[in-house]
Homo-oligomer: A and B are copies of this chain.
C-alpha cells in the first residue's frame, strides 16, 4: 500500500480510496493506482484490514464429528460459497462429547470469526452466541436457518416404494434423538398406506445390546414378508444391502433397499443404491447468504444473532438406482392401484431365488 503510494508520489489514504472505490479520487488516478498495484503484485494485508475494520473475513464451520461421511459434501459446499463471497473458512471439530462443541465454538470466537456455520450435534440446542450463527440441521429444529427438507425426502422414499407395490416396510434409523433422522423416518411413515405394515429398527439401540456391527436380523424380516428396507442414511442402507446379500436374498428381486444422502460408494456398489440426495450447494448458498446478511447488518441489542433465511427448507431429490424394483406379486396388475392392493396385511408372494 505505502509502496504504491511512494512509487506514485501520493498518499497512502488515496491509494486506499482508489482501490476500494470509496472517497473522492480522480478516475485517472484510480487507473494509475490500479496499474501500479498490478505491476508490483500488491496484495493487501488482511490482518491490518481486519484490525482496523473489526472484520476478519473468516467464518467458522463447526461439524458434529468430522468423520461423518456427509461432512465432505457440506464442507465443500460451504467452502465454495464462502470463497465466492470473499470469506475464508476455519474448521472446528466438535467430535467427542457435547462440551467439545461449546469449546470449538469458543475457540472460533476467540479467533474473531465474523460468523459461524454450525451443524449441531445430536440433542444440542444452539443458543444466542457472541457472533452471528447459521444453523443447518432440520426444519423441525428450533433456530434452524436452513436445511434439506428431510421429511419430504422421507415421503419421496415411501412414495417410490409404494409405487413399486411395496406394502411391508422396515425403516432403519440410527438414533431417534437426531432431528434429521426423525424427520426422514417420520416422512416415510406419513406416506405409507393404511393397509401397510411398518417396523422401525433403531441401530444404536440394537448395538447397545448386541454390540457394534451386529446383524440387524433382516433375513427374518424378509421371511416375515417385509420387502422394503428404507434407511435414514446410505451407511445403513449399505449395511442392510450387504446383510441381505450375504443371507442369499437377492436385491432388488426379493427386497428393495433405499438410503439417504448419495454418499460416494452408493453409486459404485453392486447393485447401486437408490437414494435421496440433498442439494448441499443450495443449502450452503442459503446458509452463507443469511449468515452474511446477519453479519453485515448493524448489530443492535434487540436483533437476534441467529441467521434466518427466506427459504429454510430445500427439497430433496430421489435418485433411483438398482436396489429398488417393482415388487413381484401373484397378481401383478394389482400393484398399480395402491389403495386396493393387499388390503389384507398378509405378506405378498416373493420370487423364489
A residues near B (Cβ < 8 Å) are 43, 45-48, 50-51, 56-58, 61, 66-69, 71-73, 75-76, 79-80, 83, 88-93, 95, 107, 110-112, 212-213, 215, 235-236, 238-239, 241-243, 245-246, 251, 264-265, 267-272
Contact = CB atoms under 8 A, between A and B. Distances in A.
Contact of A272 (B76, B213, B264): B213
A270 B76 CA distance: 30
Contacts of A83: 93, 107
A67 B72 contact: yes
A58 B57 CA distance: 13
A229 B254 CA distance: 28
B213 A267 contact: yes
Contacts of A264: 67, 69, 235
B93 A91 contact: no
Among A212, A264, A269, A270, which residue has the most Cβ atoms of chain B within 10 A? A270
Nearest to A90: B88
A26 to B, nearest CB: 28
A58 to B, nearest CB: 7
25 contacts: A45-B51, A46-B110, A46-B111, A47-B50, A47-B112, A48-B51, A58-B111, A66-B79, A67-B72, A69-B72, A71-B71, A76-B93, A79-B91, A79-B93, A80-B93, A89-B90, A213-B268, A215-B270, A235-B265, A238-B265, A238-B268, A241-B242, A245-B246, A245-B270, A246-B270
A246 B93 CA distance: 38
B79 A45 contact: no
A329 to B, nearest CB: 23
A244 to B, nearest CB: 9
B235 A45 contact: no
Contacts of A241: 242
A51 B47 contact: yes
Contacts of A267: 212-213
B67 A76 contact: yes
Nearest to A95: B76
Contacts of A246: 245, 251, 270-271
Contacts of A57: 111
A74 to B, nearest CB: 10
B268 A239 contact: yes
